[in-house]
Amino acid sequence: MKLSVPILSILLVTCRLSLAGQDERFVEIPFVEDQTFIYDFGTVHIIQPGRFTIVRTLIASAERMAFELKALDTLRTYCKRPDGNYPPPTDVFTLGPPDLPVKSIEVKTKNHGSLPGRRDQSKTASWYYPYKRLAAEERDGTFSQWELYLACKDVIRWVLPSPPGAQWFKRNCHE
């Protein structure tokens, strides 16, 4: 079920104004097969007319959450590897045999430009879920696989000219 921004805005303002008790503070909207979005109307903050923020929580089945956490933990181990494509380990398929193509885990470092004396890089690891129940079904009956994307924050580098003592600090405090 899709909710347009104007309808959600009207719903939010109406519900925000009519909040009498705690029972009316939350609204649950089913999303896909085993997921539900919960909106907390107590957190609505109007930014400007027609624009607002609200806290949304996604609840999923225990089986799905266990799979997603396993996949995330698996991606973290790839952050230390060099750039490239790697086959996913078989123990990540906790939801049974995949029913969509199994794609490689991709590790990629991206340079974000450089200034004199500085180079910005970020590294990511990503993988597409190989299950129809975790994919979006298109109108033509095909499935678009959802991508799990992890920014390897410990690999982001800012290379600056080193002041005296910086090499000692890096070697003894960051390794």
When pLDDT is averaged across residues 77-92 and rounded to a whole number, the result is: 93
One-letter amino acid for residue 162 of the chain: S
Is pLDDT of 148 > 70? yes
d(CA 70, CA 127) in angstroms, rounded, equals: 12
Contact 42, 53 (CB under 8 A): no
**Of 79, 161, 160, nearest in space to 122 by CA:** 79
Work out the pLDDT band at 167, boundaries 50, 70, 90.
very low
Work out the pLDDT band at 173, boundaries 50, 70, 90.
very low
When pLDDT is averaged across residues 66-84 and rounded to a whole number, the result is: 91
Work out the pLDDT band at 92, boundaries 50, 70, 90.
very high
Contact 37, 1 (CB under 8 A): no
When pLDDT is averaged across residues 106-133 and rounded to a whole number, the result is: 80
Per-residue pLDDT of 53-72, as tens digits, reads 888 777 778 888 888 889 98
When pLDDT is averaged across residues 2-25 and rounded to a whole number, the result is: 57
User: pTM above 0.85?
Assistant: no
